[in-house]
Structure 1
Amino acid sequence: MPPAQPKPARSLKRPPRSAPKLQQPANTPVDPPARDDEDRYPDLGVPPMISDHWKALEDSATLLETRYADRDDVFVGSGLTIHYVDGSEDRAIQPDVFVSFGSPNRSRRVWLAWEEGKFPDFVLEVASKSTYRRDEREKRAIYERLGVAEYWQFDPTGEYLNPILQGRCLNAAGTYALLPLTTTPEGGLRGVSEVIALHICAEGPRLRLFDPATGKFLLNHQEEHRGRLAAEAEVEQLKRQLASR
C-alpha cells in the first residue's frame, strides 16, 4: 500500500464564490507560466465587503496602478496573498492595497517574499466590520515585523477607526510611529506619505490621492470621464460662439 499523502494546508480564509478583479494596466507584461511554488501556496481569497469599502479599495488600487503604469520596477497589488515564510503555507497575509518598489511589474497569483527578495514598501488597509480588529492588531504587528515602511488605515464608514485615517511609518527603532494629520478646509483629513510621494486625503467615505508635484488630485475613471465631457462641451460652445459671429 502506498504511503498516505499529506493533507494540504488549509487557507486562512474561506474564499467567496466570486470577487471582482481590478484590471491590469495596458502595458503589463504577459503573465509567465505559474511556478511550482506559486501553485503550492494558497490564495486567501477576497472577503465580502460593502460598497463604500470596495469603492475606497478600488479607487486607491486603480489610481496607484495608473500612477506607476509606465514603471517596470514598481508593482501595485490589491487583495494579493503574501506568503512570508518559506515552507509554511499558513504564514500569509493579504493587504487590501500595497506598493513594492524594485519589483517587476508582472501579474502574480501570490507573492512569495523569499522569491521576490523583499516585502512591500507601502500598505493600505480599508476597515470593515469583519477586518478592522485584525488590521489594527495582528496585521499591524506583522507589517511592522516584516519591515513595511508605511502602513495606512482608512475607515470609509467612520464606525471603526478614530480618526478615520491613520498612517504609520517605521522609526529608527524599527517600530511604527503615527504620522501627523492635518484638517482640510472642507473638514477632511490629510496625511503625507513619503514612500509614494503623495498626500492621502480622507473626504467622508472617499479616499483621494493628491500629488504635490502637480498640485492636483489623481483622478479616477469617473472623474476623468466627467472632465472629458466638460472639455468637449466647452469646445462645442466655443464653436457655436465663433459660428454666430
Structure 2
Amino acid sequence: MTISPSQASQQIEYPEEDGKPMAESDPTRDYLIYAVEALDIHFQNRQDVYVSGNLFIYYEQGKPECVVSPDTFVVFGVEKRKRRFYKTWEEGDKKPDFVLEITSKSTRSQDQGAKKGIYAFLGVSEYFQYDPTGDYLRPPLQGLRLREGNYFPIEVTALPDGTQMIWSEVLGLELRSLPGGELRFYNPETGELLRSHREEAQARQAAEARIAELEARLRSLEQQEES
C-alpha cells in the first residue's frame, strides 16, 4: 500500500509534553507563572496576540524533533485561543516575537547555547534571560535583540534605587530586576506594575479593605456628631 505525503504527515505524532516537571524550583515556577499571567492580562484586549509558556513549539513540519519550549513567549498576529502545542506551519508561519527564559543551573547551557541558536534561526526579535537567584547571570536580567540574523545585547539602565531596567521594543514594556532580585514588568505609559492574577486579586482585596475602613470611620464620626 502506498502512503501519500499528506497521510504520512498525519501519522506523525507531535507530543504535548516530555514528562519533565514544569520547573525545577519554586522561584523558577513562580516567575514563569508571573510572566505568562502578567503579559496575558496586559494583552487581554488584543485578539491578535498569543501569550503562553512552557508549551511545545514545533517549527518544522514532519520533524517532531524540531521543537523548543520557551518558559514565556509572545506571538503577534495570531488568534488568541487555547492551544495544546504550537505548530508554526498551522499559524501562518508566525514565530514568537518575544521569548523569556528563567535560567537555572540545569538550563543555563541550553539557554545560552542551543536555544539561543534556535531562537535566532526562528527570527525571535527579542530574547530575554532572567536568573532569579543571581548565581548564573550577571546582571541577572539580560536581553538580546535580533539584528540581521544575530543577537546583540540590549542596553541595561540602572535606576537610582538600584533597579536594573531593560526596554522591550517588541512588548512596549519595561522589564525590571528589582534590588531584591524580583522580576517585574512595567508599563512606561502609565508607570503601572503588571500584576499576575493572584496579585490582581490581592490588590482588589486591599482596596476593598481600605474602602471598608474609611466607611467605618465615616460612620463612627457621624455617630459621634449625632450624640
**TM exceeds 0.5?**
yes
Question: Which runs of 5 or more residues in structure 2 are unaligned?
Answer: 2-9, 223-227
Aligned AA for 1:150? Answer: E
**1 or 2, which has the higher helix percentage?**
2
Q: 1:119 maps to what in 2?
A: 95
Equivalent pair of 1:56/1:205 in contact (CA under 8 Å): no
Q: Where has structure 1 moved over 3 Å in runs of 4 or more?
A: 44-48
Look up the SS of the partner of 1:40 in the other structure: coil
Residue 204 of structure 2: which of 217, 228, 245 is its match? 228
Q: 1:183 maps to what in 2?
A: 158
Residue 44 of structure 1, CA deviation = 4.0
Q: 2:15 maps to what in 1?
A: 42
Aligned positions of 1:205-224 closer than 5 A: 205-224=181-200
Q: Does 1:241 align with 2:214?
A: no
Q: 1:75 maps to what in 2?
A: 50
Equivalent pair of 1:150/1:168 in contact (CA under 8 Å): yes
The superposition leaves residues 190-229 of structure 1 with CA deviations (integer Å, 9 ceiling, x where unpaired) of 1000101100011234210000111111122343233223
Count of residues in correspondence between the two structures? 210
Q: 2:144 maps to what in 1?
A: 168
TM-score (norm 2): 0.85
Range moving further from structure 2, 39-48 or 190-199: 39-48
Residue 91 of structure 1: which of 66, 75, 91 is its match? 66
TM-score (norm 1): 0.80
CA–CA distance in 1 between the matches of 2:116 and 2:47?
A: 28
Q: 1:147 maps to what in 2?
A: 123
Look up the SS of the partner of 1:162 in the other structure: coil
Question: Which runs of 5 or more residues in structure 1 are unaligned?
Answer: 3-35
Look up the SS of the partner of 1:192 in the other structure: strand
Pair member with larger Rg: 2
Look up the SS of the partner of 1:166 in the other structure: strand
CA distance 1:231–1:130, change in 2 (3 Å): same
Aligned AA for 2:217? Answer: Q
Range moving further from structure 2, 216-225 or 187-196: 216-225
Q: 1:10 maps to what in 2?
A: none
CA–CA distance in 2 between the matches of 1:109 and 1:229?
A: 33
Q: 1:9 maps to what in 2?
A: none
Aligned AA for 2:39? Answer: L
Look up the SS of the partner of 1:100 in the other structure: strand
Q: Percent identity?
A: 40
